[in-house]
Structure 1
Amino acid sequence: MKIGIYGQFYHENSETYIQTLIDALQKKDVEVFIEENFLEIINRNQDITKNFSKLATFTKLDASFDLFFSIGGDGTILKAVTFVRDLNIPIVGINTGRLGFLATIQKEEISESINLILNKKYTISERSLLTLNTAPNNNELGSLNFALNEIAVNRKNTTSMIKVETFVNDSYLTSYWSDGLIVSTPTGSTGYSLSCGGPIIEPSANSFVITPIAPHNLNARPLVIPDNSTINLKVSGRETSFLASMDSRIATLENETTLIIKKADFTIKLLQLNDDSFIKTLRKKLLWGEDKRN
């Protein structure tokens, strides 16, 4: 078995869990490869006692990898997606961050979880993605023009609202006067969209949600649409440009650019232990069902 490991090392005391993970994997009959920049960070950290410099590294994945471990929070998984792309390599999210809707394996349970994973006691949750193209074409988007969570447009260099003309399957929907607009996948429904009043959508649902950001027109509400829809957006405002984000990646686009948003032709596979589920994660992370009256 061939396993890749990636992290960003932003979380306090995460070096302890990195050490635990690598030690657990090295005891098994697996090949371990660490993303090159992450290994440099690990070897600079004095709290990690073992020198991992002899471990193989990678800067780019290929189809020979069986699993890809992401150490951090949900933001780290979103970055991990840019390595995996359409290779169908399952991502294992180890949560050393805070909330962790995507990174569901808890840092305190790494050793036990590794045993379960290597014994194939898990399921795969396939997650849809969005793609973004523009007319005219914008080279700033490059090949990473996809998002697991959401594609959003936001105002830039101004406190004034922007107008987002929105079309679904070439039919005019409305013009949102707002700080911006989010088009979210079911996976992203627990992220930026949720904080702006959007609904929570079960990950396997064949839906997207359009959520305005601080709309001026108070009758504007989030809208759930089928995920085979094509969404066209055209942004205008007092400034000559605006921001378009694909998860954590941001591009600057000129006003009157048309954004074409569709479902990607590939999915991302998230590994989920057999005793985990999206409903269980919701209850735990949102404290549903807990009596807080005491």
Structure 2
Amino acid sequence: MKIALYGQKIEYKNIIYINQFLIYVFNHSIDIYVEKSFFKKLLYFKEFHKIKLYVFSKYEELKNCDIMFTFGGDGTILSAITLIQDLGIPIVGVNTGNLGFLATFSKDVFIKNMDNIFSKKLYLMPRSLLQLETSINNTNLFFNFALNEIVIFRNETVSMITIDVFIDNEFLTSYWSDGLIISTPTGSTGYSLSCGGPIISPENKNFVLTPISPHNLFSRPLVISDCKKIHLKVHSRVKYYSLSMDTRLISLIKENELYIKKAPFYIYIYQEGKNTYYKTLREKLLWGADKRN
């Protein structure tokens, strides 16, 4: 078996869990490849100086990998998918961060479940992505897919921007706002939720369009089928507007139109069980929390 390990930072309190994980891996003769930058961070700690680890740094080196393990929060998983891309490698997210919507395994639960994880006895949840194309080629779009959301918002101005929206080539409306969020069900509990968007469970086949601080009182979030294609035209008083895709941010010239659709592949994330999502809503968002309960 070949597995990958990825993280963005390490706190000393988490060393014991990584160490237990590596001991398990070596005791079971599993080949482990560590992302190059994370490998350098591991070397700061003497516990890992004598451990022989393989290193990877790009997409091509992950082929034939069976599982990727991430140590961090949801942002770590969002960063990891830029390496996995369309390889179909399932992710086990160990939550050493704060919220942990995607990284659903607490450190203690992860250690206890390693036998089940490596025997693939847990629930595997497919997550849909957004794919972006632009009318003007932009070399900075090194990975034009998003697991959570694509966001268009104003750049270097306090003035609102206007975003013309077309669904399957049919004009929908013009949003006069600070920006617009196009979210997957996975991203519905993120930025979209903070702007008044609905929560959508991951198995649903939808996108959500959520305006950011719209000036029109009738502008509300809209749920559409993920088989629809979205076309956006941006109008601004300044030359550029900002575009974010999960954790990646760039500026585009306002003449650059956007075309968004469902990606042709999924990201797969391991969970403890099929109903983990609703448990996560209760625990992380305090869903239904009330002193009367």
- The alignment's TM-score, normalised by the length of structure 1, stands at 0.94
In structure 1, what is the Cα distance between the partners aligned to 2:111 and 2:51? 22
In structure 2, the CA distance between the partners of 1:120 and 1:105, relative to structure 1 (3 Å rule), is same
Matched with 2:29 is 29
Q: Does 1:244 align with 2:274?
A: no
| Residue 104 of structure 1, CA deviation | 0.2
In structure 2, what is the Cα distance between the partners aligned to 1:276 and 1:114? 20
CA contact (8 A) 2:42 2:48 kept: no
| Residue 121 of structure 1, CA deviation | 1.7
In structure 2, what is the Cα distance between the partners aligned to 1:170 and 1:14? 50
Q: Secondary structure of 1:82's partner? A: helix
Q: Which moved more, 1:154-163 or 1:203-212?
A: 154-163
What are the residue-to-residue correspondences of 1:188-199 with 2, within 5 Å? 188-199=187-198
Matched with 1:67 is 67
Matched with 1:125 is 125
In structure 2, the CA distance between the partners of 1:100 and 1:24, relative to structure 1 (3 Å rule), is same
CA contact (8 A) 2:161 2:234 kept: yes
CA contact (8 A) 1:180 1:214 kept: yes
Q: Does 1:150 align with 2:152?
A: no
| Residue 18 of structure 1, CA deviation | 2.3
| Residue 181 of structure 1, CA deviation | 0.4
> Aligned letter for 1:242?
Y
Note the alpha carbon deviations across 1:97-132, whole angstroms, 9 max, x for none: 111110001012232121221232212111110011
Q: Does 1:96 align with 2:96?
A: yes
In structure 2, what is the Cα distance between the partners aligned to 1:282 and 1:62? 32
In structure 2, the CA distance between the partners of 1:167 and 1:12, relative to structure 1 (3 Å rule), is farther
In structure 2, the CA distance between the partners of 1:52 and 1:287, relative to structure 1 (3 Å rule), is farther
In structure 2, what is the Cα distance between the partners aligned to 1:193 and 1:44? 38
User: How many corresponding residue pairs?
Assistant: 291
CA contact (8 A) 1:20 1:110 kept: no
| Residue 276 of structure 1, CA deviation | 5.2
What are the residue-to-residue correspondences of 1:260-275 with 2, within 5 Å? 260-274=259-273
Q: Secondary structure of 2:128's partner? A: strand
For structure 1, the 5+ residue unaligned runs are none
| Residue 9 of structure 1, CA deviation | 1.0
Q: Secondary structure of 1:217's partner? A: coil
CA contact (8 A) 1:156 1:241 kept: yes
Q: Secondary structure of 2:210's partner? A: strand
> Aligned letter for 1:55?
L
In structure 2, what is the Cα distance between the partners aligned to 1:287 and 1:44? 37
> Aligned letter for 1:57?
V
| Residue 288 of structure 1, CA deviation | 2.3
In structure 1, what is the Cα distance between the partners aligned to 2:126 and 2:104? 15
For structure 2, the 5+ residue unaligned runs are none
CA contact (8 A) 2:94 2:105 kept: yes
Matched with 1:167 is 166
What are the residue-to-residue correspondences of 1:1-294 with 2, within 5 Å? 1-9=1-9, 13-45=13-45, 49-51=47-49, 54-60=52-58, 61-142=61-142, 144-274=143-273, 277-292=276-291
> Aligned letter for 2:247?
S
In structure 2, the CA distance between the partners of 1:52 and 1:179, relative to structure 1 (3 Å rule), is farther
Cα RMSD after superposing both structures: 1.7
CA contact (8 A) 2:17 2:111 kept: no
CA contact (8 A) 2:5 2:34 kept: yes
CA contact (8 A) 1:129 1:264 kept: yes
In structure 2, what is the Cα distance between the partners aligned to 1:154 and 1:260? 16
Note the alpha carbon deviations across 1:273-292, whole angstroms, 9 max, x for none: 23752111111111224333
Note the alpha carbon deviations across 1:219-253, whole angstroms, 9 max, x for none: 11000000011111111111110111111111211
In structure 2, the CA distance between the partners of 1:119 and 1:151, relative to structure 1 (3 Å rule), is same
| Residue 52 of structure 1, CA deviation | 5.2
In structure 1, what is the Cα distance between the partners aligned to 2:275 and 2:218? 38
> Aligned letter for 1:72?
G
CA contact (8 A) 1:39 1:53 kept: no
In structure 2, what is the Cα distance between the partners aligned to 1:63 and 1:33? 11
In structure 1, what is the Cα distance between the partners aligned to 2:14 and 2:44? 14
Q: Secondary structure of 2:70's partner? A: strand
In structure 2, the CA distance between the partners of 1:257 and 1:217, relative to structure 1 (3 Å rule), is same
> Aligned letter for 1:115?
D
